[in-house]
Structure 1
Amino acid sequence: MSMPNIPDIKPNIDLDREDMINLLLASIALEEIGLSHIINAEGEKIQKGIQLACNIEDLIDLNRGVERTLQTIIKKEMILQFKLENVLEIPSTHRPKPKRSSKED
């Protein structure tokens, strides 16, 4: 039995600093949109639960489930905040020119 041949793949990806930052910011934004949809779904779940609940235990169970989901979302939000802070700290490729002191004779 012979070994499988892996093709020599060399993708050429050429991203400059601005493209990279834009892609990172877009990924954060897309994750935020996804979380907002989950939060909205949890709100709709509560509304339906209030309409259909037969007793207080059903509402308490519903509340516990929503609470766990929101705790998970909060954790994800913290990670996204760290990600955003890291993106904003990406160093510039242009170094500022040193200021010359102007001495008058």
Structure 2
Amino acid sequence: MTFPNIPENINPIEDLDKEQVALLLLASIAFEELGLAHIINAEAEKIQFALGTLNNSDSVVKDVVDLLDINRSVERVLRTVIKKEIILQFKLEDVVDFLKND
């Protein structure tokens, strides 16, 4: 994944028009989404590693209790990601409303 490009010709802050502000807000949402995607990927790799399916390694899970502990850990992280996604949805809706209001 690559980072979205923020326009370089936007400076100083007080000279921004409405469209440039919206673009910067959308770019900030994109950066946050990219970070969340990396977190989700890391959690998937955690499960794959535990089960031994990542790079054909041996399973590190010794019993069902270990597997449930890993599952709880991943679930907590994903719950936090979902909360962040809801906040980003609100932010996106606010940007759309900002653009609609002249």
**Which TM-score applies when normalising by structure 2?**
0.77
Name the structure 2 match of 1:81: 89
What fraction of aligned residue pairs are identical, expressed as a percent? 59
* CA deviation vs aligned residue, 1:31-69 (integer Å, no higher than 9, x gap): 000000000000000001112111111000000000000
**Of 70, 76, 79, the match for 1:71:** 79
Name the structure 1 match of 2:16: 15
Alignment: residue pair count: 83
Name the structure 2 match of 1:36: 37
| Residue segments in structure 2 that go unaligned for 5+ positions in a row | 1-11, 52-58
What RMSD, in angstroms, separates the aligned Cα atoms of the two structures?
1.4
| Partner SS for 2:26 | helix
Quick check: which has more Rg, 1 or 2? Answer: 1
| Partner SS for 2:16 | coil
Structure 1: distance between partners of 2:65 and 2:101: 56
Structure 1 stretches of 4+ with a deviation exceeding 3 A read none
**Which TM-score applies when normalising by structure 1?**
0.75
Q: Shift of the alpha carbon at 1:92?
A: 4.5
| Residue segments in structure 1 that go unaligned for 5+ positions in a row | 1-11, 94-105
| Partner SS for 1:89 | helix
Name the structure 2 match of 1:58: 66
- Report which of the two has the higher share of helix: 2
